[in-house]
């Protein structure tokens, strides 16, 4: 809609402070109601030399895109007025240009106010929804049209959330519409430090991987707090940071009430998302995935999480432990990458139970691989398939997961090790469950 300045002035109460809901590098944002709908009005500053470019960029690019994860443009105003002002003792007419863009109002505000570390703040399912929504919105900008829109200023302040915490990418003032995906060189350094990739800071190079780097920083902040990217850079290795974030989330998730199967789903998503984010912030843009690759991996993750949440097969009452999943252990196979998945052990007895986990091949690891469970308790085991340099011969390999368990007396002080179970076989009842290992390619 082409809205008049007079109408916008009226619905914002003359741009009163009460209606102001934010500000940015290029303008103030006000709240108003038009035709019964709450809208956000961005009023650009009168800054010499850049107003038209920023306004035109944002208007033109928002007119070209429609996607659930990109903020919806409702209307605009571009008016030129003349007002008499006093200058050097004389009255002169000054030209006043009003440039305004009107968007759907996002009740949740910007993502910036929700950034926190693993110990508090948003729950994991909400964070995952935000991560995936941002990636899908950016994928539409990069690949949803014959030309390419590079945002070039992705950051938490430019991600808005609706009342259901669904994210929408906003603020396209820096964006560029390009006819090809080739590298472009600019002479100016504009953007937000901390979200700019090294190749842009050092050489002013703009590629699709610019936005991917920014998304990687945002994901790290969503998962590990405002200092997520800095902490990642300070670690001795990316793997050390991945393990730290993974462990922190395990501690939080284990301390929360949850429905059955939720933990194993969430912890798999945490592992995969933090690994993906670290790849997105690689210093070498060639090593970063494209945003299409990122979305593909998240879609695969969704499929894997559905597999984990399949109803488990009931085990017989004679078994000390129930396994979930109880049919098979699935690894989403990928060359040259460590891949992890989770399994839940449930002690349904009124006694303490010792467990031991092993495989018939050396290419797997389990954490923890043995221990003791209290009566009526649960524990979650993370299995890792070490990086393989060749494809598996077929989906159902000959690999097998073996879970041993035996009941203990309360006063038992035995240390639970492989040797403990080797001796226990001769002196007590030891249950043994075998699960086939399956590769999902």
Kindly tell me the burial class for residue 351, based on how many C-beta atoms sit within 10 Å of its own C-beta (0-12, 13-18, 19 or more): middle
User: For residue 146, what pLDDT is reported?
Assistant: 65
Q: Which residues contact 18 (CB under 8 A, 6 or more apart)?
A: none
Query: CA-CA distance, 378 to 334, in Å (whole number)?
Result: 30
DSSP state of 192: -
Is 431 part of the annotated catalytic residue set?
no
Q: Which residues contact 193 (CB under 8 A, 6 or more apart)?
A: none
What domains sit in the chain, N to C, each tagged with a CATH number? 5-104 (3.30.200.20), 109-302 (1.10.510.10), 313-440 (2.60.40.10)
Beta bridge partners of 103: 40, 73
User: For residue 135, what pLDDT is reported?
Assistant: 95
Residue 47: pLDDT band with limits 50, 70, 90: low
CB atoms within 10 A of CB 352: 19
pLDDT per residue as tens digits for the range 135-148: 999 998 888 776 77
Q: What is the pTM of this model?
A: 0.65
Crossing angle of helices 208-224 and 262-280, rounded to 10°: 140
pLDDT per residue as tens digits for the range 100-127: 888 888 989 899 999 998 888 898 999 9
User: For residue 178, what pLDDT is reported?
Assistant: 47
List 18, 51, 52, 153, catalytic entry: 153
Tell me if 43 is assigned to a ligand binding site. yes
**Least reliable range by pLDDT among 123-132, 235-244, 261-270, 319-328:** 319-328
Residue 295: pLDDT band with limits 50, 70, 90: very high
How big is the chain by its Cα radius of gyration, in Å? Answer: 28
**Mean pLDDT score, 176-184:** 47
User: For residue 187, what pLDDT is reported?
Assistant: 47
Beta bridge partners of 367: 382
DSSP state of 257: -
- Highest-scoring range by mean pLDDT, 55-64, 189-198, 267-276, 350-359: 267-276
Q: Which residues contact 425 (CB under 8 A, 6 or more apart)?
A: none
């Amino acid at each position: 809609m082409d809205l008049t300045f007079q109408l916008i002035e009226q619905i914002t109460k003359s741009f009163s402070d009460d209606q102001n809901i934010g500000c940015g590098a290029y303008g103030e944002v006000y709240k108003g109601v038009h035709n019964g709908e709450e809208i956000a009005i961005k009023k650009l500053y009168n800054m010499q030399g850049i107003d038209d470019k920023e306004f035109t960029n944002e208007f033109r690019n928002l007119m070209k895109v429609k996607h659930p994860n990109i903020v919806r443009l409702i209307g605009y105003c571009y008016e030129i007025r003349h007002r008499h002002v006093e200058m050097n003792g004389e009255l002169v007419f000054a030209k006043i240009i009003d440039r305004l863009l009107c968007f759907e109002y996002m009740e949740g505000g910007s993502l910036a106010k929700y950034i926190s570390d693993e110990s508090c703040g948003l729950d994991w399912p909400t964070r995952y929804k935000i991560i995936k929504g941002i990636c899908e919105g950016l994928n539409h900008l990069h690949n949803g049209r014959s030309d390419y829109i590079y945002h070039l200023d992705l950051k938490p302040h430019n991600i808005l959330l609706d009342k259901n915490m669904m994210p929408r990418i906003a603020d396209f003032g820096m964006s560029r519409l390009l006819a090809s995906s080739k590298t472009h060189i600019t002479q100016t350094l504009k953007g937000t430090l901390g979200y700019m990739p090294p190749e842009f800071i050092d050489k002013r190079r703009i590629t699709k991987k610019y936005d991917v780097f920014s998304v990687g920083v945002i994901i790290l902040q969503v998962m590990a707090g405002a200092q997520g990217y800095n902490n990642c850079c300070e670690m001795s290795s990316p793997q050390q940071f991945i393990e730290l974030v993974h462990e922190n989330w395990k501690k939080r998730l284990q301390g929360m009430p949850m429905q059955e199967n939720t933990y194993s789903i969430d912890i798999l998503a945490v592992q995969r998302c933090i690994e993906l984010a670290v790849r997105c912030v690689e210093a070498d843009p060639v090593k970063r995935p494209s945003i299409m690759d990122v979305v593909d991996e998240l879609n695969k993750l969704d499929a894997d999480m559905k597999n984990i949440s399949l109803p488990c097969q009931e085990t017989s009452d004679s078994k000390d432990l129930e396994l979930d999943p109880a049919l098979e252990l699935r690894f989403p196979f990928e060359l040259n990458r460590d891949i992890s998945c989770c399994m839940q052990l449930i002690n349904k007895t009124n006694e303490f139970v010792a467990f031991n986990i092993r495989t018939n091949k050396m290419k797997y690891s389990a954490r923890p691989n043995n221990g003791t469970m209290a009566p009526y308790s649960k524990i979650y085991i993370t299995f890792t398939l070490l990086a393989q340099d060749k494809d598996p011969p077929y989906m159902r390999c000959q690999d097998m997961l073996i879970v041993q368990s035996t009941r203990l007396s309360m006063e038992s002080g035995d240390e639970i090790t492989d040797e403990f179970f080797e001796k226990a076989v001769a002196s007590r009842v030891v249950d043994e469950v075998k699960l086939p290992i399956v590769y999902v390619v």
